Amino acid sequence: MGYEIEEFCADTKQILQAEPGPTGREKVRRNLERLLKNPNFLAAECGPSAEPGIRTIYRDKDTGFNVLVHVYTEGKKGPPHDHGRSWAIYGQAAEWTDMTLWDRRDDGQKEGFADLEERETFRLEPEMAGMFDIGDIHSIHFPNGARFIRVTGTDLDTIPTNRFDLSKKSVNVGSRL
C-alpha cells in the first residue's frame, strides 16, 4: 500500500503547524513526491477517466492549505504570475511541465509596470515536485494530457495575485489563476 492522500494531508497539516516557513514547505514538497508514486491515487484523481479542469480535493480549516488536481486535455503556456501572499507546490502526475522562474528588474514602485527577466527554466517530470515560495514569479508550459497536483498555502481565489504581460511590461493584480 502506498502513501495515501489522507496521510499526505495529515502530515502536511502537522508539518505546517510545526514549521510554517520554507523548511516545512520543503518537507511538504518531498511528501508530495511520495504521494505521486502511489498508482492508486494517480488513477483515481488523474487517470484517463478524470474530469478535465481544476478541482480542490482537500482544504485544511486550521492551516488553510489546499490540495488541487489539474487535469488538462489541451496544452497551455501561461503568463508569468505569482501566488500573492501564498506559496505553491506543483507535483507532476502525467506528461511534463516546464517551469520558468522570473526576476523583476524594476523596483515595483510604478503602478501597472513590471520589467521581468528570465532566470531559469526546468522541467517537472512525473513524480517530481517543485516549490514556489511567497512572491516567486513563474510561468508554466505543458503539453496536451498534462496532469498535476498543486498544493497552495491558502485558497488563491481569495487573495490578490499578480499576472505579468511580458510584451507590455505590465502587471495586473487579480484573484484568479
pLDDT tens-digit profile of 65-74? Answer: 999 999 999 9
Question: Region 149-174: what's the mean pLDDT?
Answer: 94
- pLDDT over 60 (residue 175): no
Q: What is the mean pLDDT of residues 158-166?
A: 95
User: If pLDDT is split at 50, 70 and 90, which confidence band does 63 have?
Assistant: very high
Outline where DSSP puts E strands in the chain: 53-59, 66-71, 76-77, 88-94, 97-104, 116-124, 129-132, 137-142, 147-152, 161-165, 170-174
The pLDDT of residue 173: 83
pLDDT of 1 > 80? The answer is: no
What per-residue confidence (pLDDT) applies to 10? 98
State percent of the chain over pLDDT 70.
98
pLDDT(176) > 80: no
The burial of 176, by beta-carbon neighbours within 10 Å (0-12 exposed, 13-18 middle, 19 or more buried), is given as: exposed
What does pLDDT average to over the chain? 96
- pLDDT at site 174: 76
Gap between the Cα atoms of 32 and 65, Å rounded: 13
pLDDT at 5 over 90: yes
Sort 90 into a burial class: Cβ within 10 Å, 0-12 / 13-18 / 19+. buried
Q: What is the tens place of the pLDDT at every residue in 112-150?
A: 999 999 999 999 999 999 999 999 999 999 999 999 999
Choices 3.30.450.40, 1.10.3720.10, 2.60.120.10, 3.40.470.10: CATH for 5-156: 2.60.120.10
Domain boundaries of the chain, sorted by first residue: 5-156
- Output the CA angle 41-47-48, nearest 5 degrees: 165
The answer to whether residue 32 scores a pLDDT higher than 70 is: yes
If you average pLDDT over residues 76-83, what whole number do you get? Answer: 96
Confidence of residue 38 (pLDDT cuts 50, 70, 90): very high
